[in-house]
Structure 1
């Protein structure tokens, strides 16, 4: 180090191995030393520090001095700078020297050199590239820099909205038109998941008398409203835009308006039979999305799903992240779930996630729809994994629409697990989430799940007005079977839980009416009739089994197993009970208590105990089924909850508990709980 310092001092320069805290002071010293004979070296180093490169054009003033012989030749200046340790062999000014030069040079001088540099690039037709970003961040206001950053932002907008947002912000620093870039900046923000920034930008744009790029601005506004769970407000934005200005956004207007129940408005802006304005992959994908949603309202909507899947495939091919009220993949998945094909919904979403459809902002919704598909197929662990993926898919919190679906998923999983404490907690979260959104066509599945849970928890009053809105929405759309059937089925289940024939009747009638055109409606209508016979204890085992297995075939095995299990608990003939329990086991295999991979078979109320004397050979005094009931009792479950968990009737659960109390000699419920814990602890120790 000492030798290096002596070498630099010999050339009249300070050493460059400096602490950052020393730089301001050293900058002044270096400026003082780079005078006289060293002034030309200083000019060269300053030019290189602002972006000029060797070999290449130099600032005109310095070049004139070199050409006129006023200073040494370029090679001599470079050699002096290199030997002083201020310039590397590749022509880069060393960091401390560069910082010192830029610190002491007047800002006007630096900016003048930067503009001259930009002119040199323009003269040779060479793009500025990353240099434009550095110049903008450094405070240079130049329309050429701003234009290049805008252009770079435009190129990145559909593929990388996060990068585009940065480029547009830098373009503003360089002097870009704030209003002229507003719609694109808002699109970048919403594509990156930053709804608040997008909202602020769009609000500023749309209040102008004649807003530029207004169609794009309305697309962004509608996408923001949709993600906030207020789809109807997006429909209002398209109504304000009008048919004359809708252009290629007409299909998005149709998706938004139909989702909020405005069929007339959708038809006024979008004609499904009209070809797209341009035959590009993106334009066709959007047109097919609008067409698919229109088709879904038909009495026989069988063409809607393939149209939307085609649209999803095409958008996957473009890799575009556009401001959409919903992606075609999400809409296709919803249609698949509404038609009893949850596996198809899952695969469509997985393909869209892999292709990056809709960008990072769309990923949480696609993962949540995967979770819903898994939950419906009774794969609860897979559903939880997909929920976890949704929560970390974006660096922003879940938007209100996705938060609502996530909360409804937690309710559905807890309900299917029979976890009352978890169900109550999930219900409270869902109740808070529903306060932030409004009802729309694309949220009927979560609302249906919450309707059932509300009936289960005797909380129907907390969702009643939302359900009224859902029924009104379906009425505005003509009660389309594809969308209405699952909601009516949820209402039937809720009515059965509430033991309310008056509430059951209109929904059962709607299912029966739709059965002529909808296979899923026919399945639900048969299942509803079977449930009524079970609750009335007028069971027809063949009809119940057929209905339960049909539910399994449309991707609802848990619902089918529950129907068969409840019927088995109420069957009068042992052969009927065994038949229905076998059906329930087929549809919903239960994990083995011993962890050996075998299914745990729900026993009948008259089934013999394992031991010869009615007890288990392990000495606990309880049969395997009694241990199963005991664990549920210790979890705080009621007779009814125990029956639902293991497919026995509440009365059978009560008999098991009474028998355990007698066998263990318990004097009261508290004593029974203590003795049950001891019995189960004894079994656990034996297993260890």
Structure 2
């Protein structure tokens, strides 16, 4: 080896890993050199070169120095020359000069001799192996130790494993020898492209090594790309004879893509699993719990999936998965009306690092969904922020869809029309990159509702047809289909389409015989229809609204009560329903904060005007109270009195009273003048979009 192509990288001039740079060369010379030595200069030079390469004092040393009777005097001469420090390390300038001026083949020979001596002593190379590999040394012994080290930490520290595998390649390891494990490490840290490229080359071989692991990685990558059915196809290609311990993973992929029959056949044909380790038990419980979600008693599935998540946390393994047990348990809880349970499971999984770095964004996004469903927008946005920064790599496509649906859902619940339109535009892009599967029904339901509100149903109709077809292949399981039917009810109400409403309402009524959640949602749908027809009893609406809140849908319940209050004929009904809405959704704040909505203590819970003689609420320099500023912002958004009332749970008449008071306080003689003065008072120098 000649030239500098194989020079140890961390010792090259200008390298960030070496404390010296070109400026460290000895002044007054054209090339690096060391100060003139006294005594046996060649022996001192050899000692300093050996120590610069990685040998240590007192041992091991190269054969030419080890056992040399003059070694002590050589060491003393090096110290006297000021080139060897008391700790046995070579002075930086001398070290740099020696390595720069020594042929690469000589350095490599010394490095190989060092490896042989360390291994002969029965010691592991440890960090020395990494240093040697990064320096460019190709040695099978170094590569083997790096590969073994990577294998040991693959399931628990995939990021370190990825680095070690890369260094083993530098040291001369064969590219395909550990391809499946390298792909697993890349997938576990979120580098889907690298994992996919490695697996593609592996699976194209006639007899690929570690075939089953390679298929596991391929299926996990397909799932994260939002193409779960492709992952199931990969397991079908593998076949039951070669499935071994991957059968539970294959069952998850197949059920998630709508092929429960194929999953049952595969599990029956696959050989029995091996030792009952924590990981094996976690995977077995995962597929058993998922299968239960399709049966007549889906309430038994949630405890099983929670136990699967607990066992996966305890195992500490970060193996490739189509879906983590924690995510499946959380989805089961959300589909059962138990968002608080979902949040607890997700919190524990994140603390344990379940699924490795690649799984963290999805777990955080599901936490955001539980927070949004429980009407906690601030917590949802915090979880979204954690998801976005949880990984060095961009979000996987299936997680991009979940994020897009979260943005849509938060904007819809915040009555932020402009933000809703922007979020919908982003969601349209995300939808094009994924296909529908069982584990993405919640975001598709939210997008269905948004599409109906924005009159964009055609944008999601094909995907929703696929969702209903998938559920049909699975036998329309109650746990998975009920929330999507509820989304269909809300979409039909927004579209004012009785024909579209009827099948979803009928499905909820039929399901209510076997599902408490379906019964609550059926009552909620019935209440909405009666409110829109202005033929309702306040007590029935309140019962339905509080029922929705009890199954983790407080915003939906408050929305129902608030809308009914706006249509109530009797004042006592209006007061009762507004009080219910405020009780279920006290922190509603379209302007972005919760304190502003509750800042006016002189506004009673029913939203009635402040009686004469009561001191006015605190005001800011504009002369407007916190409540009036809130109403003013909604007015600037173009909302009617009724829409203002529905947004902040006051009656339309109360909203009108607020506007009248604002006109008087701001001295506006007309509505157009009021809008101008409001923009100035609220800092809106331009009209809102």
- Give the Cα separation in 2 of the matches to 1:660 and 1:340: 42
Offset at residue 61 of structure 1 (A): 3.6
- Give the Cα separation in 1 of the matches to 2:122 and 2:502: 75
* 1:215 matched residue in structure 2: 212
In the alignment, is residue 356 of structure 1 matched against residue 357 of structure 2?
A: no
Q: CA RMSD in A?
A: 3.1
Which of the numbers 46, 49, 53 marks the counterpart of 1:50? 53
Q: Residue 132 of structure 1 contacts residue 148 of structure 1 at CA under 8 Å; is this kept in 2?
A: yes
Offset at residue 597 of structure 1 (A): 8.1
Which of the numbers 259, 262, 266 marks the counterpart of 1:265? 262
In the alignment, is residue 318 of structure 1 matched against residue 315 of structure 2?
A: yes
Offset at residue 572 of structure 1 (A): 1.9
* 1:116 matched residue in structure 2: 113
Offset at residue 95 of structure 1 (A): 2.4
Offset at residue 643 of structure 1 (A): 3.5
- Give the Cα separation in 2 of the matches to 1:598 and 1:659: 17
Q: Residue 272 of structure 1 contacts residue 287 of structure 1 at CA under 8 Å; is this kept in 2?
A: no
* 1:645 matched residue in structure 2: 647
Give a deviation string over 1:652-676, Cα, whole Å, max 9, x none: 8679768987999967642342355
Q: Residue 49 of structure 1 contacts residue 102 of structure 1 at CA under 8 Å; is this kept in 2?
A: yes
Offset at residue 22 of structure 1 (A): 5.1
Give a deviation string over 1:141-192, Cα, whole Å, max 9, x none: 1111110000011112112111111110110111112111111111111111
Offset at residue 235 of structure 1 (A): 1.0
Distance 1:664 1:600, change over 3 A: closer
Q: Residue 520 of structure 1 contacts residue 554 of structure 1 at CA under 8 Å; is this kept in 2?
A: yes
In the alignment, is residue 587 of structure 1 matched against residue 584 of structure 2?
A: yes
- Give the Cα separation in 1 of the matches to 2:133 and 2:624: 78
Offset at residue 679 of structure 1 (A): 7.9
* 2:182 matched residue in structure 1: 185
Q: Residue 50 of structure 2 contacts residue 61 of structure 2 at CA under 8 Å; is this kept in 1?
A: yes
Does 85-94 or 610-619 show the bigger shift? 610-619
Distance 1:142 1:232, change over 3 A: same
Offset at residue 577 of structure 1 (A): 1.9
- Give the Cα separation in 2 of the matches to 1:85 and 1:613: 90
* 1:40 matched residue in structure 2: 43
* 2:73 matched residue in structure 1: 76
Higher helix proportion (structure 1 or 2): 1
Structural mapping, 1:417-456, within 5 Å:
417-456=414-453
Offset at residue 32 of structure 1 (A): 9.8
* 1:630 matched residue in structure 2: 632
Does 19-28 or 557-566 show the bigger shift? 19-28
SS of corresponding position for 1:303: helix
* 1:685 matched residue in structure 2: none
- Give the Cα separation in 1 of the matches to 2:185 and 2:265: 29
Distance 1:116 1:574, change over 3 A: same
SS of corresponding position for 2:243: helix
SS of corresponding position for 1:357: coil
Distance 1:535 1:648, change over 3 A: farther
Q: Residue 609 of structure 1 contacts residue 616 of structure 1 at CA under 8 Å; is this kept in 2?
A: no
SS of corresponding position for 2:25: helix
Taking structure 2 as the reference length, the TM-score comes to: 0.89
Offset at residue 378 of structure 1 (A): 0.6
In the alignment, is residue 296 of structure 1 matched against residue 293 of structure 2?
A: yes
In the alignment, is residue 383 of structure 1 matched against residue 380 of structure 2?
A: yes
Q: Residue 602 of structure 2 contacts residue 616 of structure 2 at CA under 8 Å; is this kept in 1?
A: no
Q: Which runs of 5+ in 1 are unaligned?
A: 1-16, 67-71, 682-688
* 2:612 matched residue in structure 1: 611
Q: Residue 331 of structure 2 contacts residue 342 of structure 2 at CA under 8 Å; is this kept in 1?
A: yes
Q: Residue 530 of structure 1 contacts residue 547 of structure 1 at CA under 8 Å; is this kept in 2?
A: yes
Q: Which runs of 5+ in 2 are unaligned?
A: 1-18, 588-593, 684-689
Offset at residue 594 of structure 1 (A): 7.9
Give a deviation string over 1:327-378, Cα, whole Å, max 9, x none: 1111111111110110111111111111111112211111111111111111
Give a deviation string over 1:599-619, Cα, whole Å, max 9, x none: 965646xx5553369999989
Distance 1:621 1:92, change over 3 A: closer
Give a deviation string over 1:377-410, Cα, whole Å, max 9, x none: 1111111111111111112221211121111111
- Give the Cα separation in 2 of the matches to 1:569 and 1:228: 45
In the alignment, is residue 553 of structure 1 matched against residue 550 of structure 2?
A: yes
SS of corresponding position for 2:108: helix
Distance 1:120 1:592, change over 3 A: closer
Q: Residue 156 of structure 1 contacts residue 164 of structure 1 at CA under 8 Å; is this kept in 2?
A: yes
* 1:149 matched residue in structure 2: 146
Q: Residue 162 of structure 1 contacts residue 192 of structure 1 at CA under 8 Å; is this kept in 2?
A: yes
Q: Residue 133 of structure 1 contacts residue 170 of structure 1 at CA under 8 Å; is this kept in 2?
A: yes
- Give the Cα separation in 1 of the matches to 2:94 and 2:650: 83
* 1:4 matched residue in structure 2: none
Offset at residue 268 of structure 1 (A): 2.5
Which of the numbers 269, 283, 290 marks the counterpart of 2:280? 283
* 1:88 matched residue in structure 2: 85
- Give the Cα separation in 2 of the matches to 1:620 and 1:153: 66
Offset at residue 459 of structure 1 (A): 1.2
Q: Residue 158 of structure 2 contacts residue 188 of structure 2 at CA under 8 Å; is this kept in 1?
A: yes
Q: Residue 240 of structure 2 contacts residue 269 of structure 2 at CA under 8 Å; is this kept in 1?
A: no
SS of corresponding position for 2:298: coil
Offset at residue 212 of structure 1 (A): 0.7
Give a deviation string over 1:63-117, Cα, whole Å, max 9, x none: 47x3xxxxx6111111111221222222222222222222222222222222222
Does 356-365 or 31-40 show the bigger shift? 31-40
Does 564-573 or 663-672 show the bigger shift? 663-672
- Give the Cα separation in 1 of the matches to 2:414 and 2:623: 28
- Give the Cα separation in 1 of the matches to 2:41 and 2:88: 18
Offset at residue 495 of structure 1 (A): 0.4
Does 41-50 or 475-484 show the bigger shift? 41-50
- Give the Cα separation in 1 of the matches to 2:627 and 2:529: 28
* 1:686 matched residue in structure 2: none
Taking structure 1 as the reference length, the TM-score comes to: 0.89
- Give the Cα separation in 2 of the matches to 1:231 and 1:600: 52
- Give the Cα separation in 1 of the matches to 2:528 and 2:639: 23
Offset at residue 558 of structure 1 (A): 0.7
- Give the Cα separation in 2 of the matches to 1:272 and 1:422: 51
* 2:8 matched residue in structure 1: none
